[in-house]
Structure 1
């Protein structure tokens, strides 16, 4: 049952993930081949576990897990070698969540571990949805199929291996069989009743013989007695109760869940969440490939030392970030009354669904690109050279007209107020 359950996952959402990855092609298609090999290796491991006893020697167990772990490492290495890829967020989403296949070495609760790995990739799957949902729907389906694969994997582990991988044999294995050939296992053939085919002619002959009885065919029918007639027995008329839509709840929407503040470094990610009135937050010792992510912080200040990849403020209020230099971008998403100050370089600043954003630039960042959408009260402060700044608002109002060639022409409308 365990092997069949895992096979169902590979034939279901995982097969869809492989198919869409091939359609997208490029680095996504290449990485999906490594992912398929990893799932094939795990299937071989589950087949072995269903027929063998757990090895007593830990080294023997690690050697059996090596094919799967090697594929996980290959997937993560592929991401690191393609950091300039236009599909880097795709590669990162898989790289961050593929360790979910390591559940076979987790006990006593491997199911939550799979969910944790699925959540680890959510940061990058959200970026894929943000960047591609308006460009190419295949990328949205790609995210759904991969998230569904890990969701079903979590349910599979919870059902068949609640407290850890179940070994079904009596003797320890001497070696792991080679992984099955590439591609998902084919679905089982349909069950055919061979006996019914031979009797088909006899059944048809009996059917025509009954039809040819004429009036005598009604003699085998049961008589309807008075107690069975619905017009004389109203109780027989009652059918199933008609469907009623559930009453609309009158309760007001609940407020956002408040969680305790956290400041965590998870590998290459610095996660700063739910900080309140804390102006002494410091990210020090970060490397160039690190990212800093702030979520639901209010009335706080974060200082980032050194050069890192990117910084994101998500759903923050009255929060400031001060940093040296970024390789990629500074992003504000769904924020209110936020500001940033850069001392070195920042290539891109992105402002999305944000009301109130102050952008303090440095002399080295005057070539910055600022991309804004669905935002208001945005100001760029350009240094004068004497320690003072020139404040310039980013346009929020535009006028669009139709040209004689039936195309759109959009210009900025300057405020006269």
Structure 2
């Protein structure tokens, strides 16, 4: 019955997803073939599990799971190799949520794990809906079919494998089955839930005192490569100075402040001079949205999906870990400090952005457009940071074959 239930998913919602992917075509269609292979690999594994006993050791189990693991890696690698694709959000939605197939190695609650992975892709499925719902209904149907596939997978696991994968318990032990040559299952980035949370006993008062110093982010004496004192004492996070009322009219906090939780979304708007903003008791599916906040500091405790900072000025965000991205849009003089992991940082139409990374976030991807005065501070391991500016100036030439060649132009000033 378990195998039949999984087969129903393949022939139902997954088949619809594959059809819509083919209809969209291009990278989406090609990506969907890898997804189909991943589900087929899991079907074969479930067929084996239904007939055999549980492997005697973890290495045998990892060997049996390797085909599924390889498919998940191929799906995510395809996304990384096609970051310039017009369907990048489609590819990312699948890549962020496909680790749901790793439920077979999760106990005692595999069904909630699938939901977490489904929620992890929500940031990108929402982008697909935003970009395409007025252009092409096929993309909307594509999103619905994929979400439905994972929803049905969660229901399937809840019904047949409530506390973990159920083995058939008869026939030869699965460990005797000839496994393919394999290494242990490599967990994709979003499967890494073992990031050590920030110790609640750590005194953050010094950090927040520095956040409130009121020093301009772009001033030369705040840049470690121009101020030897900072190199000795460590980084001083930016908090900004000046009268906020004299700033850009589009960034003034001119409405009543708002701090509410609406479902999975924390909405924080029009906060002015507030250094006591704290989001806690969070879940991995939560998202945080800041809008038109001025001269304020937000602390986000726990691992959540994403943070969006829209039209804020002189605002600092301090957080533990994210599943997907922190995004700055139309901001001025903002700062981020991450204690755990952040896969992606997006900076768009923002002037003045200071980002303090953690040792766990050195594999971060930073995407910037139409922005200036952006600095990344990389930890050295001794409490000090290395400050590296993000390039703002480029030179483009035309190749003989009529293509463009663009290179970074360093600013020597």
Could you tell me the TM-score, scaled by structure 1's length? 0.52
Task: Return closer, same or farther for 1:346/1:149 CA change in 2, 3 Å cut-off.
Answer: same
Deviation at 1:64, TM superposition (A): 0.2
- Alignment match of 2:316 (pick from 287, 293, 302): 302
Task: Return closer, same or farther for 1:263/1:77 CA change in 2, 3 Å cut-off.
Answer: farther
Q: Is the 8 A contact 1:2 1:160 kept in 2?
A: yes
Partner residue of 2:308?
Answer: 293
Residue correspondence of structure 1 range 376-391 to structure 2 within 5 A: none
Task: Return closer, same or farther for 1:35/1:130 CA change in 2, 3 Å cut-off.
Answer: same
Deviations along 1:188-215, whole A, 9 cap, x unmatched? xxxxxxxxxxxxxxxxxxxxxxxxxxxx
Give me the whole-angstrom Cα distance separating, in 1, the residues matched to 2:107 and 2:15: 28
Give me the whole-angstrom Cα distance separating, in 2, the residues matched to 1:78 and 1:93: 12
Q: Is the 8 A contact 2:333 2:351 kept in 1?
A: yes
Give me the whole-angstrom Cα distance separating, in 2, the residues matched to 1:176 and 1:20: 37
Residue correspondence of structure 1 range 16-31 to structure 2 within 5 A: 16-31=16-31
* Structure of greater Rg: 1
SS in 1 for 2:134: coil
Deviation at 1:301, TM superposition (A): 1.7
Q: Does 1:280 pair with 2:281?
A: no
Task: Return closer, same or farther for 1:265/1:176 CA change in 2, 3 Å cut-off.
Answer: farther
Give me the whole-angstrom Cα distance separating, in 1, the residues matched to 2:371 and 2:134: 21
Deviation at 1:23, TM superposition (A): 1.2
Partner residue of 1:322?
Answer: 333
Residue correspondence of structure 1 range 218-297 to structure 2 within 5 A: 256=262, 261-262=278-279, 272=288, 279-281=296-298, 293-294=308-309
Give me the whole-angstrom Cα distance separating, in 2, the residues matched to 1:164 and 1:291: 28
Residue correspondence of structure 1 range 187-206 to structure 2 within 5 A: none
Q: Is the 8 A contact 2:100 2:118 kept in 1?
A: yes
Deviation at 1:270, TM superposition (A): 11
Residue correspondence of structure 1 range 86-165 to structure 2 within 5 A: 86-165=86-165
Partner residue of 2:11?
Answer: 11
Compare relative contact order (CA 8 Å, sep 6+) and give the higher one, 1 or 2. 2
Gaps of 5+ in 2: 181-259, 267-276, 319-324, 336-343, 355-367, 373-390, 395-413
Partner residue of 2:196?
Answer: none
Q: Is the 8 A contact 1:327 1:347 kept in 2?
A: no
Deviation at 1:53, TM superposition (A): 0.4
Deviation at 1:176, TM superposition (A): 6.3
Task: Return closer, same or farther for 1:270/1:15 CA change in 2, 3 Å cut-off.
Answer: closer
SS in 2 for 1:145: helix
Gaps of 5+ in 1: 179-253, 284-289, 314-318, 332-339, 350-363, 368-417
Q: Does 1:46 pair with 2:74?
A: no
Deviations along 1:320-364, whole A, 9 cap, x unmatched? 65359x996638xxxxxxxx6447974389xxxxxxxxxxxxxx9
Q: Is the 8 A contact 2:279 2:299 kept in 1?
A: no
Q: Is the 8 A contact 1:42 1:101 kept in 2?
A: yes
Give me the whole-angstrom Cα distance separating, in 2, the residues matched to 1:366 and 1:167: 59
- Cα root mean square deviation, aligned: 4.5
Q: Is the 8 A contact 2:92 2:121 kept in 1?
A: yes
Instruction: State the number of aligned residues.
Output: 254
Give me the whole-angstrom Cα distance separating, in 2, the residues matched to 1:92 and 1:265: 23
